[in-house]
Structure 1
Amino acid sequence: MTHAPIAMRSAVAADLESMIAMLAEDTLGSQREDTRTPLDQAYIDAFDAIAHDPNQLLAVAARGDRVMGMMQLTFIPGLSRRGAWRGQIESVRVAGAERGAGIGKQMFEWAISECRTRGCGLVQLTTDASRTSAHAFYERLGFRASHLGYKLAIGD
């Protein structure tokens, strides 16, 4: 059985419930996200802020109307590396039933291409230290663990 191809596109408001469900699918996300409907207004406000920021791109991998993956790209100007822009990849998720089918790889190839198109000299990402299978996946794609990262929660 052949499937229709995966298409990468900018997320639209109608995708939001599917995206929040993917964020909540794993152990870490299940502790942080709220999938009850109607969705919390904070999700809607965040979506609107991302959609209106020219240096943000919230994207989904879809087959027809079915959202199968998501990611957020942030384009960051910087002085280091001779003023190079960076592409930051975050919130990468593939729906549980779709994992292992190559969707994640397609998403990253697309994201890296978008970063090149925007003139980025570097693509970076962060990942939770506990996501060891994701680390191996990123390394297979050519990413290297070159830095340590720290976070400080300052909100609720």
Structure 2
Amino acid sequence: MNLNQLTFREAVQEDLDKIVFMLSDDKLGQKRERYTRPLLESYIKAFQSIDADPNIELIVACDQEEAVGVLQLTMTPFLTHQGGWRASIEGVRTASSHRGKGVGSLLIKWAIQRASNRGCHMIQLTTDKQRPEARHFYKKLGFEATHEGMKLHLPHE
């Protein structure tokens, strides 16, 4: 793989199978994702909602035509920071065949530039505390742990 030939684009529905596979292909993802064929209808509906929202971009990194990395970039307006926009990165994954080769770094750098181009004043992300290597990865890219994040999981059917 030549990193100079890596391309980035918005995902299309035909990428969804590969994306769900990447999301489920790690220790934590195996616990919360369900990669089956056919894909669960919930993945398809989520993709359609993401695709329809102009402030959410599901981005894939491609080696030739193959999706080898993914992230979701969400731009949100806030009243804070004088009505500024900020971007959030979620669901970052690299295909196991391409991990450790720089794909993730280029994908995050691409997302930072994209958020800047969209007028965002800040980009943020969370990473699971069970992933110390991910925390180190994001720090190397300039992210700082300035806040303590909290989550509340809601019951669903």
Q: TM-score range by the shorter chain?
A: over 0.9
CA–CA distance in 2 between the matches of 1:150 and 1:120? 23
1:40 matched to which residue of 2?
40
Q: Counterpart of 2:85 in structure 1: which amino acid? A: W
How many Å apart are 1:28 and its aligned residue?
Answer: 1.1
Query: In structure 2, the residue corresponding to 1:27 is in which secondary structure?
Result: coil
CA–CA distance in 2 between the matches of 1:118 and 1:49? 20
Q: Counterpart of 1:98 in structure 2: which amino acid? A: H
Query: In structure 1, the residue corresponding to 2:143 is in which secondary structure?
Result: coil
* 1:75-114 → structure 2 map (5 Å cutoff): 75-114=75-114
Q: Which runs of 5+ in 1 are unaligned?
A: none
Query: In structure 1, the residue corresponding to 2:67 is in which secondary structure?
Result: strand
Aligned residues: 156
* 1:118-137 → structure 2 map (5 Å cutoff): 118-137=118-137
How many Å apart are 1:64 and its aligned residue?
Answer: 2.0
How many Å apart are 1:155 and its aligned residue?
Answer: 3.0
How many Å apart are 1:3 and its aligned residue?
Answer: 6.8
- CA deviation digits over 1:6-64, x for unaligned, max 9? 10000000100110011101111101111110001000000000000011000100112
TM-score when scaled to structure 2?
0.95
Relative to structure 1, the CA distance from residue 146 to residue 45 in structure 2 (aligned partners, 3 Å threshold; closer, same or farther) is same
TM-score when scaled to structure 1?
0.96
Query: Deviating runs (4+, > 4 A) in structure 1?
Result: 1-4
The answer as to 2:23 corresponding to 1:17 is: no
* 1:53-68 → structure 2 map (5 Å cutoff): 53-68=53-68
* 1:13–1:47 Cα contact (<8 Å) kept: yes
CA–CA distance in 1 between the matches of 2:3 and 2:121? 34
Q: Which runs of 5+ in 2 are unaligned?
A: none
